[in-house]
Structure 1
């Protein structure tokens, strides 16, 4: 069926999974009809779809550039004589602008064509990143200027992020949505891994300015890809309510689904407690007990878990995916617990790997559950609430982790964090809506 018809999926998490292999008509990406029989369908690759190829080319390319920029920007600030505090302020400016703007981006994503939101954001981001590159290469950059442009970039990212996440189901047939979600996440994760490594090499070889120029080029490529998308437009006709009314409608949609608001709350706890572990405690605890190189290996094991989780999700799609994913989300507790309880390298690497594996399998099934069960005309707003709910507490966690851990002890605080992360995921399984929500494909 056409992707825009997904809004007709029954809501509330208690529907019986539909047998997509017995549909008599499947809508092809080019708009034609393809008759089928009652024989089980062979799972096809979403890459057959031209629109999906363009989407993942754009998002993967920009993810590559987005991983290069943090590395280059950090060295750019330090090369300008900035301190660690000033670097933190530059990064915080981006994060604050993103959180503040993302709800507005969700409203716009349900009002105007999402393709336009993505194309415009990518083009504007290309221009702002090019400006940073010119300032750095020409020797005209200042730390306040980098912070100001960073805020603009944060706003641009927030305006397009809900539309980008809501775009996937408009680019593939219904029976390929699960594979599309998993493949898109996998490609973006791998691009991030490559980008972090390439960023360091580029800074060392040609300097921060030219490294950020590469990010500007990736945004330009993404803008071209998004401009070539040909997807159905499903904007409601007639007069629209105010932006605040639209926002309130999105909030009501979130609160209408217990599984949705419950797991957004769990994500808030995750980022509140774990953000400080990875950003503050991890390098100190692992570096002192095992060695500084061990922390880099741990992050590498974390990324390996993400990649394997993405590969698993390409082939394994449980009917009660949200239930299975939430159960595996409890594996994220393994990383902080391993850091707290062991001074050996292998348990830390295993804990990091299990953390990434469980989180990625959950994330794919979470994304797919939202795509399957939220009406098309409210999808971008729901994603915007998901983003805000997940990340709004992260800055607070980063600020409080150091003082709290020093007060109670690093190892004790890591145990607390592990118990909160694992326990909150397991407690979420008590909800009938989490256990019963199903999807197919």
Structure 2
């Protein structure tokens, strides 16, 4: 090992050394709410968060996008928080808050100075117990969601990459539809349908509450019981989502975007769910192929061959099926077919050869660095605890996940590439400027 390599190795070992064990306490309230408490008194801040097990996939045909819609609607107000006052209350008490929705879950959180712990708990209990779901709020948030869709998808360059892939990768499972849903579905929904949706999914036994930061465990348990204990549980959520048949023959489709001038190729493979060991291996393969300027695809397509403006790979992990995506923008007159051929050449190497020891060592260092960074803040720890419990069914992953990456071998990388990243298992999308559509007719 040369001096530079030794220095880099010591640097990353030093970073990993800061990945101290995250202590936590977890238990259930009588109404089924799972509670996780993490005490860290090193800074006077606290994060209160609730993750609900409801996402874009929880819908009926003709009623898509409800979970994302509720991400917005549940900031409208409650019986005790005036309409439009939510953000004002948070900011006036020195806090910040946000929410986000995926196909599998919805996450709300506030971060306050720790003397406002009770305020954070009260607000989240209000959201769960006393939301005002009225026609005025529904109409207002309907317009907000429409504007978000226009901004992020319809009027944004490359804004429909994921929907284009989802539509072609899934035939039966709700993952075939965009998380934000279709606007005509929200327009057609009645107020009672929204109320029924809330009653079904936004209940204590379908959620996890995480409180992390400058707290006292005993005192916090009492506050949690006071504010969340009286909330009645709901019926157990039962999902019978359709299963997809394996992809055994390459799917090749086109999508036209009026907001772009440069085409893009997107290659997708259906991959395993959250928590599957193979999914961790695919995350490492992503870093190997496209993490940084020295990664295999970037170095080859952008630096050496000068045929791509950009190239990337990512494993989009989900609860039922994940999607492994590779994408590239051509340089000059380079065809999308040429990019696909060169990308496949690198995938072929992964399937047929072991990666080098030096590349493997670098991958492990990157995995450790990412793990440390994800838990370097109270907000990050709260998110990890909630996600690990709700989606992975294993809260202890917050301390054990790094060992999963450390135990991955070069042989497993080759095996997983052979298992999931074959040409007959892929979906290829030619993502083209709208102007090309007429030429294709």
TM-score by length of 2: 0.29
TM-score by length of 1: 0.29
Using CA pairs under 8 Å that are at least 6 residues apart, name the structure with larger relative contact order, 1 or 2.
Answer: 1
